[in-house]
Amino acid sequence: MALALRPPRFQPLPAPIPASTASTTALAARPSSSAHAIICAAAASPFTEATSSSRYRRDAWSYAASDGDSSSSSAAAAAAAASSGRRDDEIALQLPELRRLLEALRASRGRGAEGEGGGGGPGRVALVGTGPGDPELLTLKAVRAIEAADLVLYDRLVSNDVLDLVGEGARLLYVGKTAGYHSRTQEEIHELLLSFAEAGANVVRLKGGDPLVFGRGGEEMDFLQQQGIRVEVIPGITSASGIAAELGIPLTHRGVATSVRFLTGHSRNGGPDPLYVAENAADPDTTLVVYMGLSTLPSLAPKLMKHGLPPDTPAVAVERGTTPQQRMVFAMLKDLVNEVKSEDLVSPTLIIIGKGMQTDDGMNLGRRLCTFPDDITGNRDS
């Protein structure tokens, strides 16, 4: 039985969660210092950074240290966790309140079963893809799930605008990962999902992009289903599709790019080399889309050229794509590493490599988005 049908439902937070204070300035263009690059101006991150104030405002409920804590003391505990930056301290501060919430859910489930004749069975988990950041790219099904959630576990790459759609009566808990800092291990995330679903909560797991494209959604789905929990996967627009559409870059194009390949830029044990073998990806007729590839790009680009990809293959690196803070660098493959370094792009950055960007559709839209004095082949518009 869904938690929404059993009184008492979660009590709302003492005050509505304020919208993110991050600035959302419109995309602004400036000329690039290189004829082979486009740089668009950026503003504050639209996503939840590890120690962002918006994160601790949303999660302040989970830092209450004792029964009867006021919202101000909860906020103070959250601020202390933010300033400490220590993962162990943070989890320890949250555990008492998480346990109390579980107990309240279990008690509510028991009363519902006895007083209303309900089954009191476990809740469900929805793995929801939120797309690359633009809230207008959400599916209607995703919006309905977000609005109906009792507990939301969200990743770093779920944009602040998407999180603003969560109902006031729901609880939000950050479980994001970034290089060098995992707020929760994957195993801890599994246990949180299981514990709250077993207690009868309607749990929503928000993931950037699509849950089943480099999102570890398959692992979470398999774990929960093995424990008898009903899991629904709600797809999201993966970054490759959303960002390519935003820039007008065809991922496939008749006679130019006959296939597209999604690659992970992650390395083994934090090393400099990407996980896959570069020679298998060096196909001039395939568009390559590299997720999470900033740190391994210096190794990937020369390997692709060594194994046959032409050095003048068009490429683009897009930081925070589809959001007002989007920045991008257009360059030939041989120049991409230097251009990305010179502009200091940060995660999340998607990399697209392929001849599809040589088509008029892709290059003309790129010019409209930013000042682009010369295209990457050295020709100007007529």
Question: Which of the residues 177, 305, 312, 361 is marked catalytic?
Answer: 177
Q: Which segments within 251-348 are labelled E, that is strand?
A: 259-264, 286-291, 314-319, 327-332
User: 59, 134, 150, 155: which is the annotated catalytic residue?
Assistant: 155
The CA–CA distances, whole Å, from 297 to 32, 154, 231 equal 21, 27, 36
User: Is 155 assigned a catalytic role?
Assistant: yes
Cα separation, 306 vs 124, whole angstroms: 49
Nearest C-alpha neighbor of 47 from the set 209, 274, 191: 209
Q: How far, in Å, are 14, 93, 161, 164, 174 from residue 20 at the CA level?
A: 18, 24, 8, 8, 15
177 has catalytic annotation? yes
CA–CA gap between residue 180 and residue 131 (Å, rounded): 24
**Catalytic: which of 59, 210, 283, 292?**
292
The Cα 139–Cα 130 span in angstroms is: 8
> CA of 349: how far to CAs of 34, 134, 319, in Å?
20, 15, 4
Please state, in angstroms and rounded to a whole number, the distance separating the CA atoms of residues 132 and 213.
Answer: 12
Q: 29: helix, coil or strand?
A: strand
- Residues marked as catalytic: 155, 177, 292
